[in-house]
């Protein structure tokens, strides 16, 4: 009868329920103690057949919180910034096929996903894309993919160093694979470690615990099926085994986590309850000396359920206890060999027996205090320690001036107009009634700023956002330096309209049509010599930019000059090493090379040749001028 009643409740909840307090030992259909149900989205609402791992991400732009739920067919992203009204934004589909095992962690605003699906590799997803979902749910695409391994059971990330460590792959006997993800969308493999065989799960830390021999080292603690191993992986090319430890009644050494002082390591064995018949057992090790780890004590829970993933925050251990749901255990007396359950939220009401159903994982690290539970059978849950918060936050606004970027737009973050808002929970999000601006929005905008605390209480204020365009236009084309020959009759060169001819052009982020002035203006008669031709453009906001080039006007050609030029060739041009001058009609008597300032750099005189090789290897890259027989001047380029 109990199963039938629960089935009816599950069927009637097709997508989501929100905010059910824990009263009299239950929150709706779910047994509880001290933890309220904030919201729930079941598997049909996530278009999936089963759930597995979970993690979370907090956007540093506005403080919004997002749950990440691994599913059999992909990875779901849920906006939980309003915890009682979660928004399922969409799913990143599996890279290959569906699988009951998928794991995800985050680093530098990216999610990294692995799976036991064949050939899955590591998916990389830019979490900042979640900011701009306008019509959820959507189907996301991966931003990058790493195929240096096929399938993997789990992934570990050390955010201090920017390294990801897939474990349980076919590489390195199932040991950790080392991947540099400091540039998240360009992961680089750096080997791995396989001396201790298959690693089912692991934790990697930059060590700051009691063993001063390893302070500052990157330490991996692997849960390796029948033992816990400790490895120094600071040097990726030469990882060093430190020690290992096992324990009595080993079933399957599954997953563990350090206490925050890195003194004690709390381990879950996934099959000891099944194999040996005792209640949930959690093994605690003393890692005061990493070279000589010690078994400290065992904690036994109140039910027969199997323990799965567990994480430490502050002095609490948050355990996904399969059919017994989330169990929250006080670690205050761990040093004296005692742990005490302080509360729970059971996502699998029918039974607390030792079976592989219910809560797979938990994520307790949101600043709001909301806790994510991923359930194999029932999808996503968000819970929070019981207690009614009816106190509104205090919204404090400040005015802000934003500059349009090169694309003519700008997004203003909540933190830009937050003038010191506060909430008694210590956590809040800031949203704006308008935060995206473009060239049509120049000037002042009064926006409403809404501050929301984790319980959904709000306060508002107004701020003035001033949009400015201070970006100068840019010249997309500016005429290159040029040498021309003066008209024989006037000994001058008539300056053309370079802008009209398309030799000079400019663009701006906001002004679509730019006027460009030329100095000297077109039609000006330029005498023999060197001249600077300048251009200036100004956008509608008064931002100005200039460009220029050097025009060299040579003497007009005489008869002998014409004969010389008709048979003259200079090659290769451009050149990095040597040029050759060939004259078919007149012998070459002298050659001189000048830089653009008129300084003579090479002088070759008293020749009587028709072909001459000239080394220009000593010249810097740039434009030069070569004069033949004091008659003909040509431009050459050293590359």
Whether 15 has a pLDDT exceeding 80, the answer reads no
Do 515 and 484 belong together in one domain?
Answer: yes
Displacement of CA 593 from its chain's centroid (Å)? 53
Confidence band for 563, pLDDT divided at 50, 70 and 90: low
Which CATH number fits the domain that encloses residue 604?
A: 2.60.40.1930
In a domain, 384, yes or no: no
pLDDT of 27 higher than 90 = yes
Average pLDDT over residues 532-538: 97
Rounded average pLDDT over 624-632: 87
Closest by CA to 115, choosing from 156, 72, 174, is: 72
pLDDT at 634 over 90: no
Q: What is the pLDDT of residue 562?
A: 58
**500 is a domain residue:** yes
**Where residue 2 falls among pLDDT bands split at 50, 70, 90?**
very low
The burial class, CB within 10 Å (0-12 / 13-18 / 19+), for 158 is buried
Over the stretch 486-518, which tens digit does the pLDDT of each residue have? Answer: 887 888 999 999 999 999 999 999 999 999 999
Is 347 within a domain?
no
Within a domain: 199: no
Has residue 614 got a pLDDT over 70? yes
530, part of any domain:
yes
What integer best gives the mean pLDDT of the chain?
92
Which residues have C-beta within 8 Å of that of residue 540, sequence separation ≥ 6?
510, 511
Please give the structure tokens belonging to residue 82: 């309003």
What pLDDT is stored for residue 630 in this prediction?
A: 84
- Do residue 596 and residue 550 come from a single domain? no
Q: Is 449 in the same domain as 488?
A: no
Query: Are 406 and 433 members of one domain?
Result: yes
Nearest to 148 by CA among 125, 116, 170: 170
What per-residue confidence (pLDDT) applies to 557? 56
Q: What is the pLDDT of residues 311-346, one digit of tens each?
A: 999 999 999 999 999 999 999 999 999 999 999 999
Structure tokens of 393?
């936050």
How far is 209 from 260, CA to CA, in rounded Å? 9
Backbone φ and ψ of 602, nearest 5°? -135, 135
Q: How far apart are CA 75 and CA 85, in angstroms?
A: 20
> What are the beta bridge partners of residue 88?
78
H/E stretch holding 7: helix 2-12
pLDDT in tens, 438-448: 999 999 999 99
pLDDT band at 3 (very low <50, low <70, confident <90, very high): very low
Please report whether residue 505 resides in a domain: yes
353 domain residue, yes or no: no
Q: pLDDT tier at 415 (50, 70, 90 boundaries)? A: very high
pLDDT tens per residue, range 74-124:
999 999 999 999 999 999 999 999 999 999 999 999 999 999 999 999 999
Split at pLDDT 50, 70, 90, the class of 559 is very low
Q: Which of 505, 530, 554 is at the close of a domain? A: 554
Can you name the residues that pair with 533 across neighbouring β-strands?
Answer: 549
pLDDT in tens, 235-247: 999 999 999 999 9
Q: What pLDDT, on the 0 to 100 scale, is given for residue 8?
A: 29
Q: How far apart are CA 636 and CA 43, in angstroms?
A: 71
Percent of the chain with pLDDT over 70: 96
Bridge partners for 284 per DSSP: 266, 297
Comparing 454 with 377, the larger pLDDT belongs to: 377
Please indicate, yes or no, if residue 516 is contained in any of the structural domains: yes
Q: Work out the burial of residue 627: count CB atoms within 10 Å of its CB; fewer than 13 is exposed, 13-18 middle, 19 or more buried.
A: middle
Question: In this model, does residue 16 exceed pLDDT 70?
Answer: no
Residue span of the structural domain in which 548 resides: 474-554
Write out the two tokens for 510: 């906001």
Mean per-residue pLDDT, 367-395:
91
Q: Rounded CA gap, 150 and 170, in Å?
A: 7
My answer on whether 525 and 541 are in the same domain is yes
Q: Is the pLDDT of residue 154 over 70?
A: yes
C-alpha to C-alpha distances, 602 to 104, 393, 579, 592, nearest whole angstrom:
66, 77, 13, 5
Q: Are 113 and 102 in contact (CB under 8 A)?
A: yes
pLDDT more than 90, % of the chain = 81
3-state DSSP assignment of residue 320? strand
The helix (H) or strand (E) run that includes residue 639 is none
Phi, psi of 130 (to 5 degrees): -65, -20
* H helix or E strand, kind and range, residue 8: helix 2-12
Number of domains in the chain: 3
**CB contact at 8 A, 98 and 117:** yes
What is residue 323's three-state secondary structure?
coil
pLDDT in tens, 455-483: 788 999 999 999 999 999 999 999 999 88
Give yes or no: residues 568 and 538 share one domain.
no
Residue 152: the pLDDT is 96
602: tokens are 């090479």
**Do 418 and 446 lie in a common domain?**
yes
List the one residue out of 383, 625, 599, 619 whose CA is nearest residue 485: 625
Element (H, E) at 65: strand 65-71
pLDDT at 624: 87
Specify whether the CB–CB gap between 249 and 263 falls below 8 A.
no
**Which of residues 505, 525, 554 is at a domain's end?**
554
CATH number at residue 510: 2.60.40.10
Overall average pLDDT of the 261-272 stretch: 97
Residues 355-363: what's their mean pLDDT?
97
User: What integer pLDDT is reported at residue 453 of this predicted model?
Assistant: 84
Q: Of the given ranges (174-188, 197-211, 579-593), which has the lowest mean pLDDT?
A: 579-593
User: Average of pLDDT values for 275-304?
Assistant: 97
The pLDDT-based confidence of 629 (bands split at 50, 70, 90) is: confident
Last residue within a domain, chosen from 418, 447, 468: 468
**Coil, strand or helix at 72:** coil
CA angle 272, 273, 279 (to 5 degrees): 130
């Amino acid at each position: 009868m109990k199963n039938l009643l629960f089935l009816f409740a599950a069927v009637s909840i097709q997508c989501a329920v929100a905010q059910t307090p824990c009263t009299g030992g239950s929150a709706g259909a779910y047994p509880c103690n001290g933890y309220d149900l904030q919201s729930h989205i079941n598997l049909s609402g996530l278009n999936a057949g089963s759930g597995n791992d979970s993690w979370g991400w907090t956007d540093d732009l506005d403080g919004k919180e997002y749950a990440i739920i691994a599913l059999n067919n992909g990875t779901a992203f849920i906006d939980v910034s309003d915890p009682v009204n979660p928004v399922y934004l969409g799913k990143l589909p599996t890279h290959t096929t569906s699988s009951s095992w998928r794991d995800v962690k985050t680093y530098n605003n990216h999610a990294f996903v692995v799976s036991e699906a064949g050939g899955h590799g590591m998916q990389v997803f830019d979490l900042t894309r979640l900011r701009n979902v306008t019509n959820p749910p959507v189907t996301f695409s991966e931003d990058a993919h790493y195929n240096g391994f096929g399938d993997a059971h789990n992934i570990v990330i050390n955010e201090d160093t920017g390294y990801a460590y897939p474990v349980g792959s076919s590489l390195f006997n199932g040991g950790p694979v080392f991947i540099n993800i400091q540039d998240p969308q360009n992961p680089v493999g750096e080997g791995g470690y396989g001396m201790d065989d298959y690693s089912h799960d692991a934790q990697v830390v930059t060590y700051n615990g009691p063993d001063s021999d390893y302070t500052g080292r990157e330490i991996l603690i692997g849960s390796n099926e029948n033992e816990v191993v400790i490895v120094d992986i600071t040097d990726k090319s030469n990882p060093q085994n430190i020690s290992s430890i096992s324990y009595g009644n080993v079933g399957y050494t599954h997953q563990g986590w350090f206490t925050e002082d890195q003194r004690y390591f709390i381990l879950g064995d996934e099959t000891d309850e099944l194999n040996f018949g005792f209640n949930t057992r959690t093994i605690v090790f003393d890692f005061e000396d990493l070279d000589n780890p010690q078994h400290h004590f065992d904690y036994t829970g109140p039910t027969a359920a199997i323990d799965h993933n567990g994480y430490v925050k502050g002095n609490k251990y948050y355990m996904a206890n399969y059919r017994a749901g989330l169990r929250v255990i006080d670690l205050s007396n761990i040093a004296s060999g005692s742990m005490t359950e302080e509360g729970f939220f059971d996502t699998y009401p029918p039974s607390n027996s030792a079976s592989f159903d219910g809560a797979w994982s938990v994520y307790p690290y949101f600043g709001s205090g909301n806790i994510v539970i991923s359930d194999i059978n029932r999808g996503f849950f968000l819970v929070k320690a019981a207690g009614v918060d009816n106190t509104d936050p205090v919204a404090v606004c400040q005015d802000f001036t934003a500059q349009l970027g090169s694309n003519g737009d700008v997004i203003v973050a909540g933190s830009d107009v937050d003038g010191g808002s506060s909430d008694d929970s210590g956590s809040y999000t800031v949203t704006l009634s308008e935060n995206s601006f473009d060239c049509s929005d120049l000037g002042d905008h009064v926006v409403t700023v809404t501050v929301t605390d984790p319980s959904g209480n709000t306060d508002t204020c107004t701020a003035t956002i001033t949009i400015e365009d201070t970006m100068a236009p840019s010249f997309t084309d500016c005429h290159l330096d040029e040498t021309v020959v003066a008209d024989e009759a006037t000994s001058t060169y008539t300056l053309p309209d370079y802008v009209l001819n398309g030799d000079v052009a400019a663009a701006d982020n906001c002004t679509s049509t730019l006027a460009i002035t030329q100095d000297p203006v077109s039609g000006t008669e330029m005498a023999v010599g060197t001249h600077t031709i300048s251009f200036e453009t100004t956008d509608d906001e008064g931002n100005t930019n200039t460009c220029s080039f050097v025009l060299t006007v040579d003497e007009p050609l005489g008869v002998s000059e014409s004969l010389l030029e008709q048979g003259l060739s200079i090659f290769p041009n451009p050149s990095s090493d040597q040029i050759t001058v060939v004259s078919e009609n007149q012998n070459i008597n002298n050659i001189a090379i000048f830089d653009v300032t008129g300084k003579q750099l090479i002088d070759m005189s008293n020749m009587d040749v028709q072909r001459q090789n000239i080394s220009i290897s000593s010249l810097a890259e740039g434009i030069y001028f070569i004069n033949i027989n004091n008659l003909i001047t040509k431009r050459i380029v050293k590359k």
